[in-house]
């Protein structure tokens, strides 16, 4: 009886969900462009990789199928997901539906590092236009590109993302990025002093409030506790103000230190020397403002006063990079010459 009840509830929810999606898509609000960011869990490397067999993939596939039935389908489509989606059976089904709906497409795997931002977050993007609309560069139709070159007016050759080319290519990409200090709050504090001044500066910094800490509290709260360094120090990704790459920040950043994003040692590596322990490096979390900077959010972006610190990190975690999405959308909306 209990199993039957669960099955009935599940079926009812799915039927209601399907009906709701059907109504929305058929009405479609006559939208010209659909921007889609379906759940990524079915395709992540750390997940079960069930692809279309994962219940969380259902809504995206249903929306695509209903696109064929609506009287006013979109003329453009923009979709993003994790790297790995491009090898899934969900991707295969998406391509089949787009072709049936008479869309041409261009696909990209891009990272903010290709746009000079020292933030490693490669993502998959699909841009599609319904004929007779066409892309500015027809040469790249129905291709998966690892370079943003088609998006740039001067058509310069930008290096492919890290871990996809040779070591020389990765090194060249790294050198093309700005140093992390350009994205820090009051970054001059981190680059004008030697490590011998670190202790005094850190004490002063703990008392001084930056723009971000005025809203979020004392700078002390960004320091990594010694207990976490003792336990997880070997698993931490540590970067410096002169580093040109940091790892992706997830929604669990600040709650956990392993695999959630890079930590900052606020003084240049060569000035500190390798002899100094992790505890002596005064490790701290990037502030929410700094995480927003690395996502290329505008300078005037800020959270409402009632949003707590952990909630700020959760909202910023896994955000899309404006440095990547903006040129993609410009390219999608551009009319061919």
Query: Parallel, antiparallel, or unpaired: how do β-strands 33-36 and 76-82 relate?
Result: parallel
Q: Does residue 248 have an active-site annotation?
A: no
Is residue 156 situated within a structural domain?
A: yes
Q: Are 57 and 115 in contact (CB under 8 A)?
A: no
Q: Tell whether the model's pLDDT for residue 120 goes beyond 80.
A: yes
Average pLDDT, the chain: 81
Residues making up the chain, counted from first to last:
337
Q: Is 137 exposed, middle or buried (0-12, 13-18, 19+ CB in 10 A)?
A: middle
Is residue 68 situated within a structural domain?
A: yes
| Residues 304-333: tens digit of each pLDDT | 999 999 999 999 998 899 999 999 999 999
Q: Which of 40, 181, 246, 312 is catalytic?
A: 40
Is residue 260 situated within a structural domain?
A: no
Is residue 160 situated within a structural domain?
A: yes
Q: Which of 124, 120, 121, 119 is nearest to 78 (CA)?
A: 124
Is residue 201 situated within a structural domain?
A: no
Q: What is the pTM of this model?
A: 0.80
Q: Which of 249, 279, 283 is nearest to 265 (CA)?
A: 283
Is residue 70 situated within a structural domain?
A: yes
Alpha carbons 179 and 84: distance in angstroms, whole number: 29
Q: Which helix (H) or strand (E) holds 4?
A: helix 2-27
Tokens of 329: 């959308």
Average pLDDT over residues 258-279: 77
The DSSP secondary structure of 164-231, one letter per residue, reads TS-HHHHHHHHHTSPPGGGGSTTTHHHHSS-GGGHHHHHHHHHHS--HHHHHH--GGGGBPPHHHHHH
pLDDT at 7: 40
Average pLDDT over residues 124-131: 97
Across 52-66, 116-130, 153-167, 215-229, least confident range:
153-167
Torsion-angle region of residue 29: left (phi > 0), alpha (psi -120 to 50) or beta?
left
Is residue 32 situated within a structural domain?
A: yes
Number of domains in the chain: 1
Across 55-69, 78-92, 266-280, least confident range:
266-280
Is residue 273 situated within a structural domain?
A: no
Q: Which CATH number do you get for residue 48? A: 3.40.50.150
Question: Which domain covers residue 112, as residue numbers?
Answer: 16-176+321-333
Q: Tell whether the model's pLDDT for residue 137 goes beyond 70.
A: yes
Q: Tell whether the model's pLDDT for residue 277 goes beyond 90.
A: no
pLDDT at 164: 59
Alpha carbons 161 and 158: distance in angstroms, whole number: 9
């Amino acid at each position: 009886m209990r199993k039957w009840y669960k099955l009935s509830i599940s079926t009812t929810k799915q039927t209601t969900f399907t009906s709701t999606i059907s109504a929305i898509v058929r009405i479609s609000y006559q939208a010209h462009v659909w921007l889609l960011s379906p759940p990524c869990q079915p395709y992540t490397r750390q997940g079960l990789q069930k692809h279309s067999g994962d219940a969380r993939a259902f809504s995206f596939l249903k929306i695509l199928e209903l696109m064929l039935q609506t009287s006013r389908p979109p003329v453009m489509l923009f979709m993003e997901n994790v790297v790995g989606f491009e090898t899934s059976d969900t991707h295969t089904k998406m391509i089949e539906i787009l072709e049936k709906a008479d869309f041409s497409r261009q696909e990209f795997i891009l990272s903010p590092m290709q746009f000079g931002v020292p933030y490693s977050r490669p993502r998959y993007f699909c841009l599609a236009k319904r004929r007779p609309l066409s892309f500015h560069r027809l040469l790249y139709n129905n291709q998966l590109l690892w370079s943003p070159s088609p998006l740039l007016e001067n058509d310069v050759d930008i290096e492919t993302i890290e871990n996809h080319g040779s070591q020389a290519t990765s090194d060249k990409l790294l050198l093309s990025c700005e140093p992390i200090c350009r994205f820090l709050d009051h970054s001059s504090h981190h680059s004008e002093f030697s490590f011998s001044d670190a202790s005094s500066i850190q004490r002063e910094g703990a008392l001084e409030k930056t723009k971000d800490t005025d809203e979020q509290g004392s700078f002390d709260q960004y320091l990594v506790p010694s207990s976490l360094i003792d336990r997880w120090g070997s698993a931490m990704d540590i970067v410096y103000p002169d580093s040109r790459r940091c790892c992706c920040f997830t929604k669990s950043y600040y709650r956990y230190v392993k695999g959630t994003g890079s930590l900052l040692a606020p003084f240049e590596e060569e000035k500190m020397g390798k002899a100094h322990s992790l505890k002596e490096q005064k490790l701290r979390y990037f502030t929410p403002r700094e995480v927003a900077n690395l996502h290329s959010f505008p300078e005037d972006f800020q959270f409402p006063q009632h949003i707590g610190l952990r909630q700020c990190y959760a909202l910023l975690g896994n955000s899309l990079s404006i440095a990547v999405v903006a040129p993609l959308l410009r390219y999608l909306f551009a009319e061919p010459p």
